[in-house]
Structure 1
Amino acid sequence: MNKKRVVVTGLGIISPLGVNFSTSWKNLIDGKCGVVVLKDISFSKLPCKVAACIPNKDEIIKSYFSKNEIKNTSPATMLGLIAAEEALASAKWKPDDKHSKQETGVCVGMGMVDLTNVCDTNEALQIGYNRVSPYFVPRILTNMAAGQISIRYGFQGPNHSVSTACATGAHAIGDGFKFIQQGYAKVMVCGGAEACINPLSIAGFSRLRALSTSFNESPSQASRPFDKHHDGFVMGEGHHGVYQ
């Protein structure tokens, strides 16, 4: 089989540094930091009190989605849809014909589900079975970002999702590359989505001794993976979309 050449022709990002690619890239190049102090009282007793949060995330989501969509869709999936829209617009690829849609696939991963939703649903179950939302399972499946992107644009090519912790986004882009290279698709929308900054997630990773805990008063210094004084990673949220 002849391996096909693969190129990137579109990018989309929603991140702690910006709500689109150009803003995120400029802030990154300018050396700005998206890590902030977690001020909610629910984080007060945890050893790690910093994370990379998207500013005004709830307002951004409300500007893109209806109340029903917000109720029935996980935050990570919605971030994935926002970034995919930018990536497709950047690439000028929104085909109407069936053939092009059949040759367009999606490979978007998610490292972790929204644990708050799981806990809230368990509490609802204690009240009664009927209090469990019929959308509970779709909200916690890690493949839903990939599925919803395909549904929204009618893409009928390969639909694939991975969940490999911190490597998820890079893994998804690599798999999308292989789908094109090996002839399974001509176009792939790839990336990684995450939105799980909550006390339980922070507590769990803190118990693993994986998170930075020495820079709660100076969050911009917390993420320092190549520094001899590094003491852990910083949780973040967002989505990066790559159109190949």
Structure 2
Amino acid sequence: MEKRRVVITGMGAITPIGNTVEEFWNGVKEQKVGIGPITKFDTTDYKVKIAAEVKDFVAKERMDFKSAKRMEAFSQYAIVAATEAMEDAGLKMEEEDPYRVGVIIGSGIGGLSSMEKEHEKILTKGPKRVSPMLIPMMISNMAAGNVSIALGCKGKCTNVVTACATGTHSIGDAMRAIQYGDADVMFAGGTESSITPIAVAGFTNLTALSSAEDPMRASIPFDKDRSGFVIGEGAGVVILEELEHAKKRGARIYAELAGYGATSDAYHITSPAEDGSGAAKAMELAMEEAGVKPEEVDYVNAHGTGTHHNDLFETRAIRRAFGDAADHLKVSSTKSMIGHLLGAAGAVELITCVKSVEEGYIHPTVGTTEPGEECDLDYVIGGPVHQEVKTAISNSLGFGGHNATLLVKKYEE
């Protein structure tokens, strides 16, 4: 069976620098940093005191109030982002076969906040006081399930959980669903809301989080002074469509999703492979599927977390995948502005790639001033680059060795 072409026709986002795609992208172009003191809990006893929180998000203003009360924030973010994407795409469910419209929206962690609160109730008030809504609020598949219910999508509905690669794998798997005829339209992306005491403590004790107190020097991917990532939250959802379906309904096409690569390092539970081989292979597979040569890629939106190992090994991976062409690549990390959105990161970063293709704008790695040892690529330091972007790649690397790469191209007939 010949693979069907897949295009992106709608986008929605909730991020630490804006609660719509337009707000987020304006924030990116302003080099706005959405990092600040944690407000969700008392950090007195915590070494890490900053995060990239979503701000001014009031669920009842963006979705059904009664439904919102029965959901954790990660599900709320997903519904709001999906609704924005649907409106952006001009998609009308009453004109679609609902069994040909699916959802793959993942969350790396799910409703950790609910789990913490209800566990506290067991300890202080006994098991009978635990909320009957705990399970449906906590389990990570409920983002996809709630989007399906809210928007009437009756096709394939699943969620991917691959830690920090969740959003990217979700979009890649949704792309496959369309390519091979399982669906005509897919809502795809990732969502997360895990800035909680136990998450911050766990990541801190893993020595994964930056303990810097200056928000402008906390998330500094590839910098010689990088010391870890800044935990963030939010959601990104894109509407993927089979090309002919999109053309038939007169949809605006942002870009073509032309390549997807997925591999495993089979190496370590938290560290990427030191030689970058797994991540490199994911990039190579995405380029191969898209029929794109390394020298034809203009921009790589790096996973770029700001941990020592990730940035060094991802740099090696890019050099391995691109060879001599790596010297001409623009590489930057959106996490320098919005922190690490965990399961939502890849989806929001793909939206960044699509906007870069659309506008010919490559954002800098904000806050990074001097690359560290062996970090020898062009990380777009000091200011943005205005140039045509015909092809862009987005990388995501997750704990457990999960590697995922998506490739978007400027749409051509």
TM-score band by shorter chain is over 0.9
Of the two, which has the highest radius of gyration? 2
**Superposition pairs of residues 1-244 of structure 1, within 5 angstroms:** 1-38=1-38, 42-57=42-57, 60-65=58-63, 68-97=66-95, 100-126=97-123, 127-213=125-211, 215-216=212-213, 218-244=214-240
Whether contact under 8 Å (1:79, 1:193) holds in the other structure is yes
Which structure 1 segments of 5+ residues have no match?
none
2:261 equivalent in structure 1: none
CA deviation after TM superposition for structure 1 residue 200, in Å: 1.4
Between the aligned partners of 2:91 and 2:2, the Cα distance in structure 1 is 25
Question: Which amino acid in structure 1 is aligned with residue 193 of structure 2?
Answer: A
Question: Which amino acid in structure 1 is aligned with residue 186 of structure 2?
Answer: M
User: What TM-score do you get using the length of structure 2 for normalisation?
Assistant: 0.56
CA deviation after TM superposition for structure 1 residue 43, in Å: 1.1
Between the aligned partners of 2:39 and 2:100, the Cα distance in structure 1 is 46
Range that drifts further, 31-40 or 177-186: 31-40
Between the aligned partners of 2:78 and 2:18, the Cα distance in structure 1 is 14
Between the aligned partners of 1:39 and 1:53, the Cα distance in structure 2 is 8
Which structure 2 segments of 5+ residues have no match?
241-413
Q: Deviations over 1:104-146 (max 9, x none)?
A: 0001000113333112212323424431211110011101010
Q: Give the 3-state SS of the residue equivalent to 2:143 in structure 1.
A: helix
Between the aligned partners of 1:223 and 1:229, the Cα distance in structure 2 is 10
Name the CA shift for 1:135/1:33 in 2 (closer, same or farther; >3 Å).
same
CA deviation after TM superposition for structure 1 residue 86, in Å: 0.3
CA deviation after TM superposition for structure 1 residue 16, in Å: 0.7
Between the aligned partners of 2:9 and 2:68, the Cα distance in structure 1 is 30
Between the aligned partners of 2:63 and 2:155, the Cα distance in structure 1 is 25
Q: Give the 3-state SS of the residue equivalent to 2:155 in structure 1.
A: coil
CA deviation after TM superposition for structure 1 residue 183, in Å: 1.1
CA deviation after TM superposition for structure 1 residue 41, in Å: 6.4
User: Percentage identity across aligned positions?
Assistant: 37
Whether contact under 8 Å (1:36, 1:220) holds in the other structure is no
Whether contact under 8 Å (2:14, 2:21) holds in the other structure is yes
Q: Give the 3-state SS of the residue equivalent to 1:231 in structure 2.
A: coil
Between the aligned partners of 1:9 and 1:41, the Cα distance in structure 2 is 38
Whether contact under 8 Å (1:34, 1:220) holds in the other structure is no
Whether contact under 8 Å (2:5, 2:179) holds in the other structure is yes
Between the aligned partners of 2:140 and 2:148, the Cα distance in structure 1 is 14
Name the CA shift for 1:52/1:163 in 2 (closer, same or farther; >3 Å).
same
Q: How many residues are aligned here? A: 239
Q: Deviations over 1:10-41 (max 9, x none)?
A: 00011111110011011112211111122566
Between the aligned partners of 1:148 and 1:115, the Cα distance in structure 2 is 17
Whether contact under 8 Å (2:111, 2:140) holds in the other structure is no
Q: Deviations over 1:151-175 (max 9, x none)?
A: 1122111101011111111111111
Q: Give the 3-state SS of the residue equivalent to 2:207 in structure 1.
A: coil
Determine which structure has greater relative contact order: mean sequence separation of CA pairs < 8 Å that are 6+ residues apart, divided by chain length.
1
Q: Give the 3-state SS of the residue equivalent to 1:93 in structure 2.
A: coil
Question: Which amino acid in structure 2 is aligned with residue 55 of structure 1?
Answer: K
User: What TM-score do you get using the length of structure 1 for normalisation?
Assistant: 0.92
